[in-house]
Amino acid sequence: MRVFDFTNAIVREPGRSVVDGLREDRSATPDFDGIRGEHAGYVAALRAAGLDVDVLPPLEAFPDSVFVEDPAIVFPEGAILLRPGAPTRLGERVEMRGALKRHFSQVLELEGDEYADGGDVLVTPGLVIVGMSARTNRVGAQVLVKKLAELGRRATLAATPKTILHFKTAVSLLAEDTVLATQTMADTGIFGGFKIIVTPAGEEGAANALRINDTVLVGDRFPRTIDLLGRAGFPVVAVRVTEIGKLDAGLSCLSLRW
């Protein structure tokens, strides 16, 4: 079974508070109806790719809770409840715990003062890469590596370039031997064992693509990347994430997949 072969997913509907979510650029306010429509389109794309999707209700108290991949990561063997690096997101753990326990018999948890975001975790064949970033500190990454070992997963640490929010902001797995990455991430040398397709200049946001079964989801505002991947033989589905992108978010963080 390939690491991007999935049958199930968990998502959470955005609440109206989502427009107050964390973001670096405060000049562009996202539109709630736009986000809700884009989220519905995303869920439709997951289902079209063959996934059974568990849609959780919105959490108005947590504006960023639509990004379910940050407080947890999941595998067929079990789930790990994380400790998000943004203090305003810590409470999402409690809300996510019940959903995980409905689906998984084994749910491990990070505890203490360490913190780690799922957006910094890239699963590749045979190895999970945990990126250290502003949202995942070294202690959190080290504890996460141990938790992954409990699930039978081998993991390693990597440094996320300081200009990048999350490790997966700048890289995604396209095939078992191929990644899509920004030039900055490609230059780190982390992916020496992989073929690297570099995002065209000005379309760095496309690096957060999402491979699901035989489909690659890519933001529709990245036409050159879509063309590049199509010519490379990947079956691409364009997904609208314009308003969601204003929250420094992409495709992978909107769902938990196994």
- State the catalytic residues: 166, 253
Q: How many CA atoms lie within 13 A of 27 on its CB side?
A: 1
Distance, in Å, from the CA atom of 141 to the CA atom of 129, rounded to the nearest integer, reads 10
Determine which helix (DSSP H) or strand (DSSP E) holds 127, and give its type and residue range.
strand 127-132
> Could you give the strand order of the β-sheet that contains 127-132, starting from the edge strand earlier in sequence?
121-124, 127-132, 155-159
Phi, psi of 95 (to 5 degrees): -70, -30
Please answer whether residues 236 and 216 qualify as being in contact, where contact means their C-beta atoms are separated by less than 8 angstroms.
Answer: yes
Please answer whether residues 110 and 83 qualify as being in contact, where contact means their C-beta atoms are separated by less than 8 angstroms.
Answer: yes
Please answer whether residues 30 and 18 qualify as being in contact, where contact means their C-beta atoms are separated by less than 8 angstroms.
Answer: yes
- Would you state the structure tokens that stand for residue 184, as one six-digit string? 């900055």
- Taking the alpha carbons of 136, 72, 183, 197 in that order, is the dihedral positive or negative? positive
- Would you state the structure tokens that stand for residue 158, as one six-digit string? 């990597």
Please answer whether residues 203 and 222 qualify as being in contact, where contact means their C-beta atoms are separated by less than 8 angstroms.
Answer: yes
